[in-house]
Homo-oligomer: A and B are copies of this chain.
């Protein structure tokens, strides 16, 4: 059960441990080809793998970045974790992911764990509510906030990677206006975060510029079960909000949801109320999670370029000197079948 060590390899290859070390670290210049061959063979024969803990203890750096998400059971964050892993792999770096379930105590604990592992940096898609503790973390390693932004002074020291949120809703409005809509609702949970505020701002500006009616529907109560684990709150919120869209005095012919999870909930709610999509009402989401394509009808959405954003987040940590990819990423309109011309009155 015990692993072979560098000494064992050295003995088998008939060389010294330092030669093995040189070999492992690609310092081939200082040894003969036949030595290399012997070492290579000994390593394979023993199935030797250098011990990460020892290496890290010696060099002082781990090849690990930390990732915090509200929950991996949430489709969007699963996709994010995947993208971050892909990006980090290019730097020979591993990712340790934690679900915080939006629990401040757990956020704190998990940050501390990550620090104890000596991670090179932390990417967070979770809100990090404990400002004081966050400050302690930023002084120890770089922190990158993914699609999370606030006005806290603590956030001064962290890099934010996000989509151009105002542009996303603005593009959604433009798409709908082109189709002929003159009254549009934006459905959102209470806008605690800056990026939600940005989406609202983009919506309101675009609506004003187009000279049409824009209504804000704040969904903050749900009668469905709360599901902290699966992180499906936004789905339930969307479902509950459907009736408010339908009964609104502004008579919107289209709804934009703050994200796809909520849009799918709205879709279910609207259908329960007997509304057809898009014949009676058009629906647009934001994110482009996988199930947009499986929704009935397939959901028009603004795609968040997750892989590019993950690449940039990882680069902030592992190669901060490279030129940045730009702080704000452009959303991409994906037109499917949930949007159409408004019904004739």
In the complex, the answer to whether A229 meets B51 with C-beta atoms within 8 Å is no
A98 and B95 alpha carbons, distance in the complex (Å): 8
Q: Which of B3, B54, B78 is within 8 Å of A74, CB to CB?
A: B78
Whether A96 sits at the interface, judged by CB under 8 Å, is: yes
Copies in the complex: 2
Sorted from nearest, which 9 A-B pairs have the closest CB atoms?
A: A78-B78, A53-B56, A73-B82, A296-B296, A53-B57, A49-B116, A73-B79, A72-B78, A72-B81
In the complex, the answer to whether A51 meets B47 with C-beta atoms within 8 Å is no
**Which A92-111 residues sit within 8 Å CB-CB of chain B?**
94-99
Of A190-198, A206-214, A246-254, A263-271, the stretch lying at the interface with chain B is: A263-271
Q: A72-B78, A75-B75, A291-B291 are in contact. Are A52 and B268 (CB under 8 A)?
A: no
Whether A50 sits at the interface, judged by CB under 8 Å, is: yes
Contacts of A79 in B (CB 8 A): 72-73, 230
A142 and B333 alpha carbons, distance in the complex (Å): 47
Q: A53-B118, A54-B57, A73-B290 are in contact. List 8 more A-B contacts (CB 8 A).
A: A1-B140, A51-B57, A73-B79, A73-B82, A78-B78, A78-B81, A232-B290, A268-B296
Whether A279 sits at the interface, judged by CB under 8 Å, is: no
- CB of A158 to closest CB in B, whole Å: 16
Contacts of A240 in B (CB 8 A): none
Whether A308 sits at the interface, judged by CB under 8 Å, is: no
A14 and B78 alpha carbons, distance in the complex (Å): 47
Contacts of A113 in B (CB 8 A): 94
Contacts of A1 in B (CB 8 A): 139-140
**Which A260-304 residues sit within 8 Å CB-CB of chain B?**
264-265, 267-268, 271, 290-291, 293-296
Whether A62 sits at the interface, judged by CB under 8 Å, is: yes
